[in-house]
A and B are shown apart, each in its own frame.
Chain A
């Protein structure tokens, strides 16, 4: 077959309909020691973030027998086991809240956080085919992995409703702070996950370190125990940003007083680590395509 149509390509094409911008749209040059966050690109690619989240959610539930039930099974059974071991047998204090409810309110943000950090920490490796072939702000990948976990969070949250009915715990206006707490949890997960995902590209043993680290973090957070058992050393616990957040969830759900200093410290630590990890990610990013 003759490809006659392409002959005209040989003629110098008359540039119709193209007006070049005054300044280059993109300038490619080696980035120096100080990288910019390039927030403009993140904004330009915001639709991609949406589609990546959507893909992660869709694919996660597409080939599972139980589908969304998985999101409930994990915290529900953990709660039952904890209630039995720590609540019944161990007689753990729970600030006057029924222990199962107490534990569930802690597991709710924790499960989201732990799953989000794990998914996001492994996300770059899992998307290596994208990284070596197309440009887009790499930060979107770990961010999307965190946001996709919100669907699970919502499902887990719904289970709280019958539990609260069962234990006759009424909601108060404190619940209005819940979105802020959720946002903090997501941002903290993003900062840890993003940093871990970048390191994971470079050092493959991060993948094995991550579950271990999360497990340690679990015990350092007031999930099975209340922060109050630390009494005078409570400030030490508050250095873990998750502790202020988890106690915050309980305060919001059960109408208890907020520990504002601890919450403020959590927020401060979260934002600081987010900025640090974003810059650190950008610095690692330029070598992703070469080493992944």
Chain B
């Protein structure tokens, strides 16, 4: 069957630091233009390459009408960029996509809602922003209101809505766009269970009518449940494209491609800049040995080794933890008073962050390591997926698991102090006395 989406060799390049460049002033631009001929002579190809990031690289796939395709991958793998290209928010650097149908995106529901306007007014405004004609909105108006369950407040400004009502209304408008291609980015996390089910029904409806859905999610259970087929993206490239169960298991296993040690022996090619370079990241146990598997009860040390080349900069080493589902578990900034807010002299530094035992949940964790300055914010280097380690919760009975032997959800698993206050029933008192009496 003829595909409804064909993407061929899609690539998208971002210039690192392009964001700062956006706040460039006219004056800077003029000064640059004046010095441009000089810079052109001294153009350094490798420096140019180092400052570009391929958010997508040579991505090709096609989707048939009625297909529901999941898109998974770690943060920064290119999922959002792909959706942004498909929804025409941003242009690809090269490659092309042919769309044989109208695209509706639920990238961010409620886009363009204006707090001052009433629910009714926002339905029209939002509908038009999403690409509906006025007549089309009028035709679907009652249905949208009914779907959102806010009919009583339809003429109230949305600033008085609860966040749940707001999301319901926003989703209702987006869901009634009836596009042939629907792009969904984790919106199912909104609302209560009843409303979520309604949303899932709507998605199902869409695919049953021969329309296609691209569903980006970090939630593996909903991917396998909703999508027969899944595409795995890794660093902007398609790593695997096939039946969801298979692709999801590849993905869950892939966090382990990273090991407990990552070293850059050649300082010149190490991540960083002219101020500081990251030399190594290691996962260590209490004994100081490099380890990649940890008992849940034991502390875990993440060591960053870096060399300050140019003195005088305040540096904050920081670590970013993701679990195997790509959930951003936490960020740790070095707040050690010894070096905090102090410009650093040149030399080799080893900074270690200790994660206490009985803190993280079991499973694989992937660590990103960065060196930044916080005032003003400058990221000197950020090495995503620098190291990874495993946490194992054995069934010894003295972890937070207790005697529970089944899978336990949650990104953390702290061992909390529990207290129970007991007020004995008068009858129970006599019972226990009886038990005590028997024993005696």
- Report the nearest A residue to B200, measured CB to CB: A6
**Minimum distance in angstroms from A216 CB to a CB of chain B:** 16
The reply to whether B97 and A27 contact each other, CB–CB distance below 8 Å, is yes
In this complex, the member of A21, A24, A290, A292 whose beta carbon has the largest number of chain B beta carbons within 10 angstroms is A290
**Minimum distance in angstroms from A42 CB to a CB of chain B:** 13
Considering only residues 1-22 of chain A, those with a C-beta below 8 Å from chain B are 1, 3, 5-10, 12-18, 20-21
Asked if A205 meets B91 with Cβ closer than 8 Å, knowing A5-B200, A21-B100, A290-B14, the reply is no
The reply to whether A29 and B96 contact each other, CB–CB distance below 8 Å, is yes
**Minimum distance in angstroms from A212 CB to a CB of chain B:** 12
The reply to whether A20 and B133 contact each other, CB–CB distance below 8 Å, is no
Tally of chain A residues near chain B (CB < 8 A):
59
The reply to whether B99 and A26 contact each other, CB–CB distance below 8 Å, is yes
Interface check B2, CB cutoff 8 A = yes
Interface check A28, CB cutoff 8 A = yes
Interface check A62, CB cutoff 8 A = yes
- The interface residues of chain B lying within 8 Å CB-to-CB of A206 are 26
Asked if A13 meets B67 with Cβ closer than 8 Å, knowing A59-B116, A205-B26, A205-B27, the reply is yes
The reply to whether B86 and A132 contact each other, CB–CB distance below 8 Å, is no
Interface check B66, CB cutoff 8 A = yes
- The interface residues of chain A lying within 8 Å CB-to-CB of B325 are none
The reply to whether B98 and A134 contact each other, CB–CB distance below 8 Å, is no
Q: Which of A24, A30, A136, A203 contacts B91 (CB 8 A)?
A: A30
Considering only residues 195-227 of chain B, those with a C-beta below 8 Å from chain A are 196-197, 200-201, 203-204, 207-211, 225-227
The size class of the interface chain B forms with chain A is 35 or more
**What total of A-B pairs shows CB separation below 8 Å?**
190
- The interface residues of chain B lying within 8 Å CB-to-CB of A291 are 18-19, 21-22
The reply to whether A3 and B197 contact each other, CB–CB distance below 8 Å, is yes
- The interface residues of chain A lying within 8 Å CB-to-CB of B93 are 30
The reply to whether A24 and B99 contact each other, CB–CB distance below 8 Å, is yes
The reply to whether A9 and B94 contact each other, CB–CB distance below 8 Å, is no
Interface check A133, CB cutoff 8 A = yes
- The interface residues of chain B lying within 8 Å CB-to-CB of A7 are 225
**Minimum distance in angstroms from A128 CB to a CB of chain B:** 11
Interface check A233, CB cutoff 8 A = no
CA distance A209 to B22 in the complex (A): 17
CA distance A206 to B28 in the complex (A): 12
**Minimum distance in angstroms from B385 CB to a CB of chain A:** 24
Stretch in B120-128, B258-266, B299-307 touching the partner:
B120-128
Q: Which of B85, B105, B128 contacts A28 (CB 8 A)?
A: B85
- Report the nearest A residue to B133, measured CB to CB: A47
Q: Which of B111, B125, B210 contacts A51 (CB 8 A)?
A: B125
Interface check B180, CB cutoff 8 A = yes
- The interface residues of chain A lying within 8 Å CB-to-CB of B27 are 205
Interface check B1, CB cutoff 8 A = yes
Q: Which of B21, B210, B227, B228 contacts A18 (CB 8 A)?
A: B210
In this complex, the member of A21, A131, A133, A206 whose beta carbon has the largest number of chain B beta carbons within 10 angstroms is A133
The reply to whether A6 and B98 contact each other, CB–CB distance below 8 Å, is no
Interface check A232, CB cutoff 8 A = no
CA distance A209 to B86 in the complex (A): 36
Interface check B278, CB cutoff 8 A = no
- The interface residues of chain A lying within 8 Å CB-to-CB of B128 are 45, 47-48, 50-52
Interface check B131, CB cutoff 8 A = yes
Considering only residues 39-61 of chain A, those with a C-beta below 8 Å from chain B are 44-45, 47-48, 50-52, 54-55, 58-59
Q: Which of A8, A30, A130 contacts B204 (CB 8 A)?
A: A8
- The interface residues of chain A lying within 8 Å CB-to-CB of B344 are none
CA distance A12 to B67 in the complex (A): 7
Nearest first, the 7 closest Cβ-Cβ pairs linking A and B are A15-B210, A18-B210, A291-B22, A13-B66, A135-B88, A24-B98, A29-B96
Can you list 17 contacts pairing A with B, beta carbon distance less than 8 Å?
A: A3-B225, A9-B203, A9-B228, A17-B210, A20-B100, A24-B99, A29-B92, A51-B129, A55-B121, A59-B116, A62-B116, A130-B111, A133-B89, A133-B111, A135-B131, A199-B26, A286-B91
Binding site for A on B (CB under 8 A): 1-2, 4, 14, 18-19, 21-27, 29, 64-68, 84-103, 105, 107-108, 111-112, 114, 116-117, 121, 124-125, 128-134, 180, 193, 196-197, 200-201, 203-204, 207-211, 225-228
